[in-house]
Chains A and B, each alone.
Chain A
Amino acid sequence: MTATVTTPPQRTPAQRLLRLARRNKLSTVGLILFGLIALAAIAAPLLSSHDPLAQNILHRLEDRSADYLLGTDVYGRDTWARILFGLRVSLLIGLISTALAMIIGSALGILAGYRGGWVDSLIMRIMDMLLAFPTLITGLFIVAVLGANFWNIVLAITVTILPKFARVARAPTIALKEREFVEAARALGYSDVRIMAVHIAPNVLGEVIVLASLWAAYAIRIEAYLSFIGLGIAPPTPTLGTMIREGFEHILDSPFVSIYPGFAVLLVVLSLNLIGDGLRDAIDPKLRD
């Protein structure tokens, strides 16, 4: 028998993606779902014929109809249009604050882990302090003090979830800095900043991204919480949380005014969690082939 040696075929990025999708059915569902939701939010003006702010008192609390796909709220505003536009605000707040928390939190965690000593103690004790508050309380505190507007809510959510990123980035950094390639990088005359940014950060990225996809879902939920208790974006701008709260006043006679935006939150959070689970499996070496 002649042994033929075949080298593994070089896959194109598209093929690799397809392979990953086949092995990770649930997260593919999540990815498609999230893609559709994001697309719907972006294309909101095209998908709805009503102005999300236009009140029509004659059609208040109406049931689903051909004209009002998901009915109307207490001011006669189209729920479908408000969900689409509300998604825009909710997704933006959730994704921006998660991205900020990921960047700042990982940078702090890498710095703490790499430097060690008092820098480590200082950064991580501050992170512990932030973690000691129940997550919602930190957010509440910041918004209550600074006032509720888009950027303050982003700030509140960022500060709330930032410590989780710092912790997750710090642990592998401590292990990585003992590896020879970091020593080799120092021997090549690279500065500490360069070593952290170019050589350690990409090694930590996998774990941080998984965390980001899971906490993005949480960030969107915090936005909904804050809006629900009246500390969100000021009306009439629709966000999912605000809509749930406004509908809540009429929950007994017209429950769907709250339920539809609640369902939208559910879909967003579910899709992000599915993506996160899939990513976690993908970077877990024990599950790799």
Chain B
Amino acid sequence: MTATPLMTVEDLSISFRIEDRWCRAVNGVSFDIMPDETLCLVGESGCGKSITAMSLMRLLPGSARLGGRIGFDGKDILTMPEAELQTIRGRRIAMIFQEPMTSLNPVLTVGEQIAEPLVLHKGMGWAEAKREARHLLDLVRIPDADRRLRQYPYELSGGMRQRVMIAIGLACRPEILIADEPTTALDVTIQAQVLALLDEIRREQGLSIVLITHDLGVVANVADRVAVMYAGDLVETAPAGELFDKPSHPYTQALLRTVPRADAAFDLHPIEGQVPSIQSMPEGCRFAPRCGEAHAACSSPPNLSSGPHAVRCWARRDVA
């Protein structure tokens, strides 16, 4: 089955101006978002996964310079006029954020905040939107919905607030839901609940989820496909099962060795060194300085191989 992708990201690059120099935070990243799948963007802090996610809706500050193309519905998000973008944001692509404690407006009730996108994008009246908001709270499994709708964010717990954020994101039945580390700020038990909820909703509503995370445990639970990023490069992309079975890029392998496992007496191996600074990226392969397998070829930048399991490494030309 070859479905057409909902969104195609082609050669996306994002630069910021730091001390009179343009520094590339994201360096020619390409991937597709297929209908009805969960795509995980994985990487360490500072690898560019969050700003990649933000750029999918062009939410970056005006000081960022964007290159490449983000195709959605036959159009390029990166060159679209702002007014047209506002009809896509929240209606066809929605986003939930890392910090449920601060992502809700403290002075508006939960009901108002869920109803607002419905009134704006779907042209509903407030009464109708409030009824729909009630259904949405049911959908995200918040009990006692009628009372919750009248409450303010400070009256809800963190997990509850993240559910409300999900309800707001889902309000207009978007085709793509971008979740930027939605569980990082939550307790482990609540994390599992929220992830299960997202997965369930994806099945029920048939939407695509782009999940940004640095937590490989989360990836193993929900991902259909995984894209691993390192220092602004997409280093490996593969179906989730295959990535965990046969990780190919030395960085992916190293990343997997940092995760504690229950099924093996396993020593944890931290990755030596640090992510290079955006202002002094190494020439050639960006992982080479930390890579145990680096050799002469690694001083020039490798390309991403083609195919469903693609790797950006000189030593792994043979896989896929």
Question: A202: nearest residue on chain B (CB-CB)?
Answer: B107
Q: CB within 8 Å of A: which of B68-111?
A: 85-91, 94-95, 97-99, 102-108
**A167-181 vs B: 1/0 string, CB under 8 Å?**
000000000000111
CB of A190 closer than 8 Å to a CB of B: yes
B59 touches A188 (CB 8 A): no
B116 touches A198 (CB 8 A): yes
A187 touches B95 (CB 8 A): yes
A-B contact count (CB 8 A): 64
Q: Cα distance A229–B22 when bound, in Å?
A: 62
CB of A186 closer than 8 Å to a CB of B: yes
Among A186, A188, A198, A203, point to the contact of B168 (Cβ < 8 A).
Answer: A188
Among B85, B94, B97, point to the contact of A183 (Cβ < 8 A).
Answer: B97
- A181-B105, A183-B97, A202-B108 known; A189+B85 contact, CB < 8 A: yes
CB of B165 closer than 8 Å to a CB of A: yes
Among A180, A189, A198, A203, point to the contact of B103 (Cβ < 8 A).
Answer: A180
Query: Whole-angstrom distance from the CB of A139 to the nearest CB of chain B?
Result: 34
A187 touches B86 (CB 8 A): no
B105 touches A180 (CB 8 A): no
B94 touches A190 (CB 8 A): no
Which residues of the partner chain A approach B90 to less than 8 Å between Cβ atoms? 187-190
CB of A199 closer than 8 Å to a CB of B: yes
Question: B89: nearest residue on chain A (CB-CB)?
Answer: A189
A180 touches B97 (CB 8 A): yes
Question: A187: nearest residue on chain B (CB-CB)?
Answer: B95
Q: CB within 8 Å of A: which of B244-277?
A: none
Which residues of the partner chain A approach B94 to less than 8 Å between Cβ atoms? 187-188
CB of B57 closer than 8 Å to a CB of A: yes
CB of B120 closer than 8 Å to a CB of A: yes
B120 touches A186 (CB 8 A): no
Which residues of the partner chain A approach B165 to less than 8 Å between Cβ atoms? 184
Which residues of the partner chain B approach A180 to less than 8 Å between Cβ atoms? 97-99, 102-103
Which residues of the partner chain A approach B116 to less than 8 Å between Cβ atoms? 188, 190, 198
Which residues of the partner chain A approach B168 to less than 8 Å between Cβ atoms? 184, 188
A186 touches B59 (CB 8 A): yes
CB of B43 closer than 8 Å to a CB of A: no
CB of A65 closer than 8 Å to a CB of B: no
Q: CB within 8 Å of A: which of B285-320?
A: none
Q: Cα distance A185–B108 when bound, in Å?
A: 12
Question: A198: nearest residue on chain B (CB-CB)?
Answer: B116
CB of B135 closer than 8 Å to a CB of A: no
Question: A179: nearest residue on chain B (CB-CB)?
Answer: B102
Among A191, A198, A199, A205, point to the contact of B86 (Cβ < 8 A).
Answer: A191
Q: Cα distance A191–B95 when bound, in Å?
A: 16
Question: B100: nearest residue on chain A (CB-CB)?
Answer: A180
Among A181, A186, A189, point to the contact of B87 (Cβ < 8 A).
Answer: A189
Q: Cα distance A199–B105 when bound, in Å?
A: 7
Q: Cα distance A191–B89 when bound, in Å?
A: 10
**A101-138 vs B: 1/0 string, CB under 8 Å?**
00000000000000000000000000000000000000
Question: A184: nearest residue on chain B (CB-CB)?
Answer: B103
Q: Cα distance A4–B102 when bound, in Å?
A: 31
CB of B232 closer than 8 Å to a CB of A: no
- A187-B90, A187-B94, A189-B91 known; A181+B85 contact, CB < 8 A: no
Which residues of the partner chain A approach B106 to less than 8 Å between Cβ atoms? 181, 203
Which residues of the partner chain B approach A181 to less than 8 Å between Cβ atoms? 102-106
Question: A203: nearest residue on chain B (CB-CB)?
Answer: B107
CB of B202 closer than 8 Å to a CB of A: no
CB of B117 closer than 8 Å to a CB of A: yes
Which residues of the partner chain A approach B87 to less than 8 Å between Cβ atoms? 189
Among A184, A203, A205, point to the contact of B97 (Cβ < 8 A).
Answer: A184
Q: Cα distance A186–B85 when bound, in Å?
A: 10
Query: Whole-angstrom distance from the CB of A280 to the nearest CB of chain B?
Result: 18
CB of B121 closer than 8 Å to a CB of A: yes
Among B86, B97, B102, B107, point to the contact of A190 (Cβ < 8 A).
Answer: B86
Question: A186: nearest residue on chain B (CB-CB)?
Answer: B59
Q: Cα distance A189–B121 when bound, in Å?
A: 9
Query: Whole-angstrom distance from the CB of B311 to the nearest CB of chain A?
Result: 32
Query: Whole-angstrom distance from the CB of B184 to the nearest CB of chain A?
Result: 13
Q: Cα distance A59–B16 when bound, in Å?
A: 82
A188 touches B97 (CB 8 A): no
Question: A200: nearest residue on chain B (CB-CB)?
Answer: B105
Extra 19 A-B pairs, beta carbons < 8 Å, given A181-B103, A181-B106, A188-B120: A180-B102, A181-B102, A181-B105, A183-B103, A184-B95, A184-B103, A184-B104, A184-B165, A185-B105, A187-B57, A187-B89, A189-B91, A189-B120, A189-B121, A190-B86, A190-B90, A191-B86, A199-B108, A202-B105
Please list the 8 inter-chain residue pairs (A to B) with the smallest Cβ-Cβ separation, ordered nearest first: A188-B90, A189-B89, A189-B90, A187-B95, A189-B86, A180-B102, A180-B103, A202-B107
